[in-house]
Structure 1
Amino acid sequence: MLDSHKGRATHLPLIAVGVLLLLMGLAMLAGGIRLVTLGGSWYYLLAGIGITLSGALAIAKRRATLWLYALTLFASNLWALWEVGLDWWQLVPRLSLWFVFGILLLLPWVRRPLVAQQSAPLSTAALSVAVVLAGATALASQFTAPGTQHGEIAERAPQRVDPAHAAGDDWPAYGATNAGTHYSSLGDITPENVTRLEEAWRIQTGDLPGSGDPGELTSENTPLKVNDTLYLCTPHSQVLALDPASGATKWRFDPELSLQGAENFSGWAHMTCRGVAYHDQADYPAARPVDARPIARVDAQRSSAAEDTARLFAESSSETANQCPRQIFLPTADGRLISLDADSGERCEAFGEHGEVDLTRGLGAFTPGGYYATSPPVVTRDLVIIGGHVTDNESTDEPSGVVRAYDVRDGHLVWNWDSGNPDATTPLADGERYTRNSPNVWSMISADERLGLVYLPVGNQMPDQYGAERSEGAERYSAGLVALDLATGQVRWHQQLTHHDLWDMDVPAQPILTDVATPDGIRPAVIQPTKQGSLYVFDRRNGEPIIPVDEIAAPQGAIEGDHTAPTQPRSRLNLLPPELTEASMWGATPFDQLMCRIAFKSLRYEGQYTPPSLEGSIVYPGNVGVFNWGGVAVDPARQAIFTSPNYMAFTSRLVPRAEVPADSAQASEGNGLLLNLGAPYAVEMRPFLSRLGFPCQAPSWGDVAGVDLAESKVVWKRPNGTSRDSSPIVPLPFNLGVPAMGGPMTTAGGVSFLSGTLDQYLRAYDITTGKELWKARLPAGGQATPMSYRGADGRQYVLVSVGGHGSFGTKMGDYVIAYALPETP
């Protein structure tokens, strides 16, 4: 009797393994049948049969168990190699689970009931060979690096850097200067000494998320360093002035945000302040007119616009100018533009009404938080120029996307540019209203005062995914780059970067002004990063492409009543990923990978620009973009770009109005449904994720890359960032390559910095090769663009805001941290 019980006990491990195999096999078989009916791979059906039968045979303690499982594992190994090669992260969901069960079946206490059978030694050997081959495949894949591009940006004589394109001891504007290069001419920190960087100081602003805040509360601030002071803003639009060497607070300003009729801020879409702007009257001596001469190499096409600007404001009141000779301009989350005395933090009373202008004037009604400037204005000699955010896909009756220029001294409106009425730039009269729902400019604006041009990255008319009722102005200017006359606001040139945009490919990043070496000599350029992956490079004088732009055929077949453009522009300089295929679907296990394959075959996907549809379409690159508001960093001396492209697929599905639940708040809560009130369709937008919450497309999902501008090519690229802070169970720091939300910065020392990855690090890289040189652990998400400056102690500092990002899912905080090389004795 005891022997009988003992015998049954020895069978339990094998039976347990058999039951697990049977259940997994049946699940794989069911999914495999579904995938085959959609025209997908037969592997899952056949492997499902093999695993199911292996489980049944194990339960029955049949000698064929090991043979059949060996054959299934061997075939799986061959199939995986055929489909993805030696790509470790692609092999994981295809082989790892079956490899583990192969080892389990080889364990003596599992296979003991099969040992006495005649073919056990041979079958054990067969399974051992299959397991060894799978292990060898995994081992070999450790020595490959798919998706990595090795190279070095060529060494050449440094290009002369226009001072207007580089920050120096100070960092006077969000993007370093009004050129937006994110470049510091400081070179104390080099690839040789960057490992010695240490934390110099940190502060906490005290502005933390509260119970009544929106989910998308974000700390995206890049501080300024001017006037021997650091100036930064917090998500709730508070301004802090800090000592650059210690972080000690000099003054603080709280605008006391209005709820605009809401009970709290939770119903607002965003709560963001990317930065403030600075104006110093001493930078523009009244006795000296604006230098209207373009740089010498473009004399042949010189502009008179700067002289026009100088004449327009030649008689500005000296009394008004002297009241606040140094100003900080703060855009607030309740739609105001406030001017503060940079020395004291007091309001500049002569600006507007008691130091502020009402940006909601002329816009009409909107829901609380539905309009305000998330990005800092651009400030020139006489103007502060600002656009605004509108809530995406809430309705077709949103506020205007007007861009307005105010006098820096007294805040009167000088001109306005509304794409719905683009020629009428004369200030809008009291009681009149700008064009409702015209495309907006929510990102940072750039300006070239010598050419007399201001450059606008333009968004879309709502809704993003349905364009049948768009206006003429929207069709002309949306998703494009528009250059306006600085003095008058009139359009000087424009380039549309997505035709009839149905994918939320609004232009997200600040245009970058730099000088580019070409075979025809140096040309003044504007570089525009885009969500779709193109880096457009135009002559900033006239919009002529410096790097060719091709019109590529685009998928057709929009929803009834709408249309798609037959072609879409694509720059020959781009960081587009390969198109998705069924084989590029991913998952943590074979099962969620199988579900992703089924979803891929069920959704509409014909490559980039697949139109939105009723069944659902894949948007890749997704609407978060290859590039977003963080943009890229340009080293004008090396003729190099340092950037961090993202690769995340999204899905969109048009929902007929009749199918939208009557309780619209409930309908949109937590399910990605955007209501598009006034349009015939709502839209479901969400990341393309597996059932376990992992991206459905294989990694890398975020890279760092280096571009040689003189050669117009990507030179190096590699996955960047780990899963340490996004693993669902335990913090596993796998170097997958994770998305980054936040911009890069680069320096004359050849070191570039990035802090925006999902894992909480500030990293330093060699811009020439892309090698990661140093990293510092951050206490929260660093979804902001770092900056650099020289302190009073002579040291070069690198500073980053570390506050997290509500919609990106990183840890929230309220830190500002500065790093520097150790002080020399």
Structure 2
Amino acid sequence: MNETTGPFAKARLFSTLVGIALALIGLAMLVGGIKLITLGGSFYYALAGAGVLLTGLLLILANKAALWLFALVLLASTIWSIYEVGLDWWQLVPRLALWFVVGIVLLLPWVRRPIARKAGANSIGTAPLAGAVVIAGAVAVASQFTNPHTIEGHLERASAGTLNAAPAMPDGDWQSYGRTAFGDKYSPLTQITPDNVKQLEVAWTYRTGDIPGPNDPQETTAENTPLKVNGMLYVCTPHSQVIALDPDTGKEIWRFDPKLSTQNADSFKGWAHMTCRGVSYHDDAAYAQTEAQASPAETAAAPASASNSCPRRLFLPTADTRLIALNADTGEMCQDFGNGGSIDLTTGIGSFTPGGYYSTSPPSVTRDLVIIGGHVTDNASIDEPSGVIRAYDVHDGHLVWNWDSGNPDATEPLPEGQIYTRNSPNMWSVMSVDEKLGLIYLPMGNQTPDQFGGHRTPESERYSAGVTALDINTGKVRWDYQFTHHDLWDMDVGGQPTLMDIKTADGIKPGLIASTKQGSLYVLDRTNGQPIVPIKETPVPQGAVEGDHTSPTQPMSELNMMPPVLTEADMWGVTPLDQMLCRITFKAHRYEGIYTPPSLQGSIVYPGNFGVFDWGGIAVDPIRQIMFATPSYMAFTSKLVPREEVEGGPARKSETEGVQPNKGAPYGVIMGALLSPMGLPCQSPPWGYVAAIDMTTNKVIWKHKNGTVRDSAPVPLPLPMGVPALGGPIMTASGLAFLSGTLDQYLRAYDVRNGEQLWEGRLPAGGQTTPMTYTGKDGRQYVLVYAGGHGSLGTRQGDYVVAFALPKQ
């Protein structure tokens, strides 16, 4: 047979092509490995690259030494991998998977035959390579029986003997963003249980019709948690529409469209956000029923003529800076509120670019007041609108008080024609209220820009990145506690403060739990702001850029889910090549652990801008005295750019991606997630978990990785790697927790005793929101999710409201 056209020739061609591929891979690794060494990184990639390059060249020459050399490379890689990461499967993948496959390929007859022919022997000594392949395979198999990131545990108790102190409401209602003004996200419903939750099915689906348009900002999001009250469901959409639905069928009852003033223009482009997290509800009758038992803080003189035109009303913050009062029965504007049903929130704010100021979160409502903050665009300039908090009369809309953190003592209404302090720290998230104590709790952001603080005032330094408690009636500061000093990392307190009475060794304490981006869970006495769980001032990295400074210490709670400090070995990839590139990126940046200052070199921010906990917050079961948390871990990078270089950088896509201009500051900043060239996280998985904490001991009961890469990977495989969640959990009295915020499109149910995932329901779009649960008129318990996706996270966008329930009996 002609050796230039027969099977031998094909085998020779195959062997040569494999050799060329290995030579190219080895050359790339050798060059990159040398670069990594110059940065102080691992020698492995240069050495392995040299071995793979030489293997490829020997294979092209059909030299049997190729097999022996690669056996050495594979065996050494296996030993090195175990040394670096142990039996951690996903960490072993980029280190061994490619070499394991190459080892098998080199054992194929198509590779061995040309080598044997040239050697003139029947045997070419494949035993070393076969042995190396078996060893690498055995390590991979062994890693399937380890779970180094899991904490196993079980909570036996059904009650800690503590009563729920949250404001009362019908068990089947969900009347506030966090169900109650305490932000606990806890429902007393028990119809759906750990035993029957597997039977959950879609009961109905409704489409709002509000989907992202071509002129919308990238971060157009459906972060809404609907309310169930007054016999209806109330949904708000990204474009500030409110829809009332029948809770049993999802049938639309009424719809209100505020007809945003920018609706027909291109001015949505360049906005940071387009979202509505929720509306708020007020019922005169509910307060009248409890007035006799009210505390002095609640029984302050009521308005002389409380309106009856809207005895039940919804408060809607719109994207064009209005606060609108709607009749909750009909959807019509309450004409006696403000100017024909709305208040212009631009009053006293001063100039801003479209989208640069408005409220993305629902206001807080008390007996007499509706209290609202506002989102201010991060990192645009040093001259942005004030972060003022304003309290309006719940009936006629007149301004009762204002608290401007830039002028904190002057809470009397701002005189006409004046403006609030420019660029003072804002409060963009959801407040919590304890009307019995007469306090409202503000989760504070910081003074923009985030990564440069050289222009900050003493007032902004005091009130940023912490919780401030105000007197409901006057707006005066009663106490404050800061969680990040001189914040240069965008460590806004994103989650709604959670209020619960906590059983401690010293008795029951009125607690406030603040979940934070840095991973600390700060537990304070909500009456006075004193720590219930110790908080320690801890030394942190130093060395800010010229014109700025860093705090020598940062307050860290003993109760925390902060991640370990990243190391070069934590860098990840699908192959050794992209893992090597991630290692180069890691070593090229400044990183000394949490609170590494921003730098001209470029710094790694970990935890990153979405934090360990963001606006989704946590849920608590005040009866069992446990917390359900969804910690996420994604590193970001930030690089300060001198003012003269800002204009030439990559375009700004959002507040966390691209060049942030920081107009007026000496530096702009380039920000983004720490990703590989393939678009995958550079840090190793898991990136997201679910966990439970015993609030009586402050110990983690259990912690499990959570979610799959089905909807975020190039190939839609449901690999259970643990993915981040943006959106909060809820808990029920039956011992269940529900979460929909993961990057894959599922609503999941968990047994709160041990963290076991009991059920998952597929969603038609991303569920980056917090679900809720309620009882319908038919007596069935429903679990509901607004599935609309998230533009900045790349999840599938839509306009779906989906309700799940047990099958009808």
Q: TM-score range by the shorter chain?
A: over 0.9
> Tell me, what secondary structure is at the counterpart of 1:97?
helix
Task: Decide which of 169, 175, 185 is 2:178's aligned counterpart.
Answer: 175
| TM-score normalised over the length of structure 2 | 0.97
Equivalent AA in structure 2 for residue 602 of structure 1? A
In the alignment, what sits opposite 1:297?
Answer: none
Distance 1:635 1:165, change over 3 A: farther
Distance 1:593 1:559, change over 3 A: same
Task: Decide which of 455, 458, 463 is 1:469's aligned counterpart.
Answer: 455
Task: Decide which of 754, 757, 761 is 1:772's aligned counterpart.
Answer: 757
2:302, 2:368 within 8 Å by CA — same for their partners in 1?
A: no
- 1:310 counterpart = 2:302: no
Could you tell me how far 1:715 is from its partner in structure 2? Answer: 1.4
In the alignment, what sits opposite 1:237?
Answer: 240
In the TM superposition, what whole-angstrom CA distance separates every residue of 1:646-676 from its partner, at most 9, and x where no partner exists?
1000000000001122799689999610000
2:218, 2:654 within 8 Å by CA — same for their partners in 1?
A: no
Distance 1:119 1:466, change over 3 A: farther
Distance 1:204 1:465, change over 3 A: same
Show the 5 A alignment for 1:355-370. 355-370=341-356
Instruction: Work out the CA distance in 1 between the residues paired with 2:265 and 2:253.
Output: 33
Distance 1:191 1:505, change over 3 A: same
Distance 1:344 1:45, change over 3 A: same
Equivalent AA in structure 1 for residue 225 of structure 2? T
In the alignment, what sits opposite 2:208?
Answer: 205
In the alignment, what sits opposite 1:15?
Answer: 16
Show the 5 A alignment for 1:367-516. 367-516=353-502
- 1:77 counterpart = 2:83: no
1:664, 1:675 within 8 Å by CA — same for their partners in 2?
A: no
Moved more, 759-768 or 4-13: 4-13
Task: Decide which of 675, 695, 698 is 2:684's aligned counterpart.
Answer: 698
Instruction: Work out the CA distance in 2 between the residues paired with 1:754 and 1:190.
Output: 15
Show the 5 A alignment for 1:224-263. 224-259=227-262, 263=266
Distance 1:166 1:766, change over 3 A: farther
Instruction: Work out the CA distance in 2 between the residues paired with 1:521 and 1:367.
Output: 51
Distance 1:507 1:119, change over 3 A: farther
Equivalent AA in structure 2 for residue 2 of structure 1? N
In the TM superposition, what whole-angstrom CA distance separates every residue of 1:728-782 from its partner, at most 9, and x where no partner exists?
2x21111110111111011001010000111100000001111000000011001
In the alignment, what sits opposite 1:31?
Answer: 32
Equivalent AA in structure 2 for residue 237 of structure 1? S
Q: Taking every aligned residue pair, what percent have the same amino acid on both sides?
A: 62
Distance 1:8 1:197, change over 3 A: closer
Instruction: Work out the CA distance in 2 between the residues paired with 1:120 and 1:357.
Output: 90
- 1:657 counterpart = 2:643: yes
Could you tell me how far 1:469 is from its partner in structure 2? Answer: 1.1
In the alignment, what sits opposite 1:717?
Answer: 703
- 1:134 counterpart = 2:136: yes
Could you tell me how far 1:346 is from its partner in structure 2? Answer: 0.6
Task: Decide which of 191, 205, 225 is 1:188's aligned counterpart.
Answer: 191
In the alignment, what sits opposite 1:301?
Answer: none
In the alignment, what sits opposite 2:776?
Answer: 791
Instruction: Work out the CA distance in 1 between the residues paired with 2:232 and 2:5.
Output: 81
Could you tell me how far 1:12 is from its partner in structure 2? Answer: 1.1
In the TM superposition, what whole-angstrom CA distance separates every residue of 1:175-198 from its partner, at most 9, and x where no partner exists?
001000010011111111101111
In the alignment, what sits opposite 1:745?
Answer: 730
In the alignment, what sits opposite 1:300?
Answer: none
Instruction: Work out the CA distance in 2 between the residues paired with 1:142 and 1:533.
Output: 29
Distance 1:61 1:473, change over 3 A: same
Distance 1:199 1:260, change over 3 A: closer
Instruction: Work out the CA distance in 1 between the residues paired with 2:478 and 2:758.
Output: 44
Show the 5 A alignment for 1:600-679. 600-661=586-647, 672-679=658-665
Could you tell me how far 1:123 is from its partner in structure 2? Answer: 2.6
Instruction: Work out the CA distance in 2 between the residues paired with 1:165 and 1:630.
Output: 23
In the TM superposition, what whole-angstrom CA distance separates every residue of 1:360-390 from its partner, at most 9, and x where no partner exists?
1100000001110000001010010110001
Distance 1:726 1:473, change over 3 A: same
Instruction: Work out the CA distance in 2 between the residues paired with 1:82 and 1:166.
Output: 57
Instruction: Work out the CA distance in 1 between the residues paired with 2:497 and 2:660.
Output: 29
1:276, 1:330 within 8 Å by CA — same for their partners in 2?
A: yes
- 1:341 counterpart = 2:327: yes
Equivalent AA in structure 1 for residue 89 of structure 2? W
1:179, 1:446 within 8 Å by CA — same for their partners in 2?
A: yes
Give the total of aligned pairs.
806
- Over aligned residues, Cα RMSD in angstroms? 1.7
> Tell me, what secondary structure is at the counterpart of 2:693?
strand
Equivalent AA in structure 2 for residue 806 of structure 1? G
In the TM superposition, what whole-angstrom CA distance separates every residue of 1:204-231 from its partner, at most 9, and x where no partner exists?
0111111111111000000000100111
Task: Decide which of 309, 315, 320 is 1:329's aligned counterpart.
Answer: 315
Equivalent AA in structure 1 for residue 2 of structure 2? L
Instruction: Work out the CA distance in 1 between the residues paired with 2:808 and 2:551.
Output: 59
Instruction: Work out the CA distance in 2 between the residues paired with 1:165 and 1:533.
Output: 31
> Tell me, what secondary structure is at the counterpart of 2:167?
helix
Distance 1:57 1:273, change over 3 A: same
In the alignment, what sits opposite 2:794?
Answer: 809
Structure 2: gaps (5+ residues) = none
Instruction: Work out the CA distance in 2 between the residues paired with 1:74 and 1:558.
Output: 45
1:153, 1:707 within 8 Å by CA — same for their partners in 2?
A: no
2:561, 2:631 within 8 Å by CA — same for their partners in 1?
A: yes
Could you tell me how far 1:153 is from its partner in structure 2? Answer: 2.6
Could you tell me how far 1:264 is from its partner in structure 2? Answer: 3.5
Distance 1:202 1:10, change over 3 A: closer
> Tell me, what secondary structure is at the counterpart of 2:198?
helix
1:383, 1:407 within 8 Å by CA — same for their partners in 2?
A: yes
1:25, 1:51 within 8 Å by CA — same for their partners in 2?
A: yes
Distance 1:507 1:670, change over 3 A: closer
Instruction: Work out the CA distance in 2 between the residues paired with 1:178 and 1:719.
Output: 30
Could you tell me how far 1:315 is from its partner in structure 2? Answer: 3.9
Distance 1:671 1:269, change over 3 A: closer
> Tell me, what secondary structure is at the counterpart of 2:175?
coil
In the alignment, what sits opposite 1:296?
Answer: none
Instruction: Work out the CA distance in 1 between the residues paired with 2:100 and 2:122.
Output: 19
Instruction: Work out the CA distance in 2 between the residues paired with 1:224 and 1:663.
Output: 43
1:668, 1:675 within 8 Å by CA — same for their partners in 2?
A: no
1:63, 1:120 within 8 Å by CA — same for their partners in 2?
A: no
Instruction: Work out the CA distance in 2 between the residues paired with 1:82 and 1:663.
Output: 41
Equivalent AA in structure 1 for residue 251 of structure 2? A
Equivalent AA in structure 2 for residue 60 of structure 1? L
2:166, 2:180 within 8 Å by CA — same for their partners in 1?
A: no
Structure 1: gaps (5+ residues) = 293-303
1:219, 1:272 within 8 Å by CA — same for their partners in 2?
A: yes
In the alignment, what sits opposite 2:153?
Answer: 151
- 1:96 counterpart = 2:100: no
In the TM superposition, what whole-angstrom CA distance separates every residue of 1:378-417 from its partner, at most 9, and x where no partner exists?
1010010110001110011100000000000000000100
1:28, 1:48 within 8 Å by CA — same for their partners in 2?
A: yes
In the alignment, what sits opposite 1:281?
Answer: 284
> Tell me, what secondary structure is at the counterpart of 1:218?
coil
2:771, 2:784 within 8 Å by CA — same for their partners in 1?
A: yes
> Tell me, what secondary structure is at the counterpart of 1:54?
helix
